[in-house]
Amino acid sequence: MEYRLYKPEDFEAVYAVEEACFEPPFRFGRGAMRKLVRSEHAATWIAAEDGHIAGFAIVEWAEEAGLKVAYIPTIEVAPAKRGSGTGKKLLQLIEQSAQQAGARVIWLHVDEQNAAAIRLYESHRYRREGRQTDFYPRGRAALVYAKPLGLASNPSR
């Protein structure tokens, strides 16, 4: 598996992974996805194998109350590649990007029904900070996870 930063010509293949991973109304629309991958305050990492995109992850960062924080809008791995370590590696790469951007904390929402994603985050020292009801369509709740960055994290593990 090759890991690299997103290039504009990747968009259609990235969006195909989005479509494979999420049904409407749970997937990002094309416009929202384009905005995320084009942001100057974000990094999108690609996992590619044999010229095909197997997954991607996006992290964005902003200043909040004098502290730079990062947020993970999505990590997606094509169904055929799940369980291969691709999600773990993408998570490590976006954590590194967030650290390089100066973020001290990284956080995310995860569907409380997504046990595999919850296991991934908890195995990387993300801690549950709360729960938001009706965060996702159809009244599905999200768990909120966060992790300090910097000396407290080890992105190369």
**In the predicted structure, residue 154 carries a pLDDT above the cut 70:** no
Query: CA nearest 145: which of 132, 126, 117, 131?
Result: 126
Give the pair of three-digit tokens for residue 122: 């908890």
pLDDT of residue 156: 40
For tokens 């992850």, name the residue: 57
Q: Tens digit of pLDDT for each residue in 85-96? A: 999 999 999 999
What is the signed CA dihedral for 80, 82, 85, 91, rounded to 10 degrees? Answer: 120
pLDDT of residue 65: 87
**In the predicted structure, residue 151 carries a pLDDT above the cut 90:** no
pTM: 0.91
Give the pair of three-digit tokens for residue 38: 């084009």
Q: Tens digit of pLDDT for each residue in 40-50? A: 999 999 999 99
3-state SS track over the chain: CEEEECCHHHHHHHHHHHHHHCCCCCCCCHHHHHHHHHCCCEEEEEEEECCEEEEEEEEEEEEECCEEEEEEEEEEECHHHCCCCHHHHHHHHHHHHHHHCCCCEEEEEEECCCHHHHHHHHHCCCEEEEEEEEEEHHHEEEEEEEEECCCCCCCCC
**In the predicted structure, residue 29 carries a pLDDT above the cut 60:** yes
The third-level CATH classification (topology) of the domain covering 2-148 is: Aminopeptidase (3.40.630)
pLDDT of residue 157: 35
